[in-house]
Amino acid sequence: MWLSRRRARELVEAAGRDPRERGEVGAGLTRLLDAAGVLVAAAPAPPVPDPQFSANLKASLLSRFDQLVSAGERPAHRAGTARRAAWIALPAAAAVAAVLLALAFFVFGPSGPAPVARLTVQNGYARLITESGTEKVVDEVDVHEGDTVSLPGGSRATITYENDNITRLEAGSKLTVAEYAEDMVAVELEQGRSYNRVIAGTAYWVECRGVTVRSAGTAYGVDAVNGEISVPVFESGARVSWPGAVPTPVGQGFEGIVTGSPGSYSIQVVPLDIATLDFSWLAFNRDLDEKLGFPLGVLENLAPTPPQGIVPPGTPDSSAPSQSSQPTQPGSQPTQPASQPSSSLTLTDGGPPVFITWSASNVSAADTVAVLRAEGGAVPSYPANVLDVSQGSGQTSYHDEQALPGNRYTYRVAYISGGSVLVYSNSVMVTVPLPPPSLSLVGDPSASNMYLAWNLSGGAAADSFAVLRSEGGDPSYPGDVYATTGGGTGGKYIDYKVGTAYTFNYRVVAISGGRVIATSNMVSWSPQGLEIR
């Protein structure tokens, strides 16, 4: 059979169609197409080529087919037709096979590895460094396993994974997406600050200089700044560990501070004071979480974002790279005005009384300072929650003598100008501690009995009371337990085994949760009489 260029083109087109739609192409070449289909299915996933490259390749291979055909001369006698056709068909078939394989690997083949996340730049720009080392400036791009994201000053960005977990990066941060699966995300933070919003039911961990932070369904930060690693937990909880260490839980409203170096790390878990953290970074994450409908945890207590907005650290007039070094990207941010009013409040003493202090700048226009307080976790506002007002803008502290033990309050300060709020401080929440419980003991002796009575104050209640007795010495718990009684806030006991010829000393201890919460004064009965001390 004589094979024409048109027929070869039809074979090429047939290679990309369903076998049922190929039409009459001959049994031998049908087998060739089927074999090429097997190669297509077994081929590894190459990158998708440029469409123009594919078109040029196709034209070049067809041109090569023409050369192969023209190398043989059309026969003049019928007797030589079959033989010459065979010689022509062989290179033609080879050309068709080459076309099909090229199409299998370059045109019809599947694309490369699927992306695992999407990077979106909110401020400035980002640099994406692929696992192979290719680097480019981006403002929005797909992210694959092994990719590294680096942010310069004045930039902030969000990585949203296919399984809905989220990593946000502060200016100056560098992070690698180490591993991804449908139910997990693992990242490596080299430097800077990350905010991690974890979807319930998926595992998520951040590794930073040998320290691993794990969680499932929470919001927490991992900050690697000034040689220290800190893990503030804003909602739910997380666990911090390193090789050879027992994981340390860090709950909502606390911060794990890791110091030392690999092999000699130590951790301290302290209450989280959001007033000492970067307000701009926290407000950036709080506002995005609020739009997405996430629970805010302790960020509920953060002051509102100012009307003029917030900007990341190091924000210049234009945060895009220069034309000479990199292609510019959108995302320029204005410089924050230096004259912007600001105020920062700190809880100095949880009380009672509660003592708060604050600092402020650029508030000379204010005519009054209002101290605000709300019950529980509600953020106070002006004028609904005014606790105290002072004239001018010079006051910087306040003692709340009205704060009741056991109650929870939220404080903040407002600078007022002409009856309107010039600026709010951040808000701080505190639960006023209860006073320590106190246990008082009295006695009433007779010739042969000692009547004892006691009262537990301070808002506490005991599970049980233990009566202690010793002869001559100071009774102690648990060695001198003489009797036990029921719990509550008081009790009575009669000791029938006493005599006027001996000295008996008594104390009572209050027990709650298996430990002593209060010890009474001592009552003594001796030949000289009763003594309460």
**Residue where a domain stops, chosen among 389, 414, 434:** 434
Domain assignment of residue 246, yes or no: yes
Q: How confident is the model at residue 152 (pLDDT cuts 50, 70, 90)?
A: confident
- Distance in angstroms (rounded) separating the CA atoms of residues 58 and 55: 5
State the pLDDT at residue 307.
79
Domain assignment of residue 256, yes or no: yes
State the pLDDT at residue 502.
80
The predicted model gives 234-258 an average pLDDT of: 92
124/165 same-domain check: yes
420/443 same-domain check: no
DSSP state of 275: G
Residue 270 in this model has a pLDDT that exceeds 70: yes
pTM value is 0.45
Which of 346, 348, 344 minimizes the C-alpha distance to 361? 344
- Distance in angstroms (rounded) separating the CA atoms of residues 144 and 275: 37
75/128 same-domain check: no
Residue-wise over 477-511: b if at least 16 C-beta within 10 A, else e? eeebebeebebebbbebebeebeeeeebbbbbbbb
Domain assignment of residue 313, yes or no: no
Give me the domain span that covers residue 490: 438-532
Q: How far is CA 321 from CA 139, 196, 484, in A?
A: 12, 27, 77
pLDDT in tens, 297-329: 999 988 888 877 888 887 754 434 443 344 444
Q: How many domains does the chain have?
A: 4
DSSP for 115-144, please give it.
P-EEEEEEES-EEEE-TTS-EEEESEEEE-
Higher pLDDT, 531 or 102: 531
84/157 same-domain check: no
Domain assignment of residue 466, yes or no: yes
**Residue where a domain stops, chosen among 78, 107, 136:** 107
Listed in sequence order, the residues at least 6 apart from 315 whose beta carbon sits closer than 8 Å to its beta carbon are 123, 124, 153, 154, 171, 333, 335, 336
153/199 same-domain check: yes
382/527 same-domain check: no
251/284 same-domain check: yes
458/418 same-domain check: no
Domain assignment of residue 331, yes or no: no
**Whether 223 contacts 193, CB under 8 Å:** yes
99/60 same-domain check: yes
State the pLDDT at residue 252.
92
377/442 same-domain check: no
Domain assignment of residue 302, yes or no: no
State the pLDDT at residue 154.
83
Domain assignment of residue 318, yes or no: no
**Residue where a domain stops, chosen among 59, 82, 107:** 107
266/168 same-domain check: yes
Domain assignment of residue 17, yes or no: yes
128/31 same-domain check: no
Mean pLDDT rounded to a whole number for the chain: 80
User: What is the CATH number for 383?
Assistant: 2.60.40.10
pLDDT in tens, 198-239: 998 899 999 999 999 999 889 999 998 767 899 999 999 999
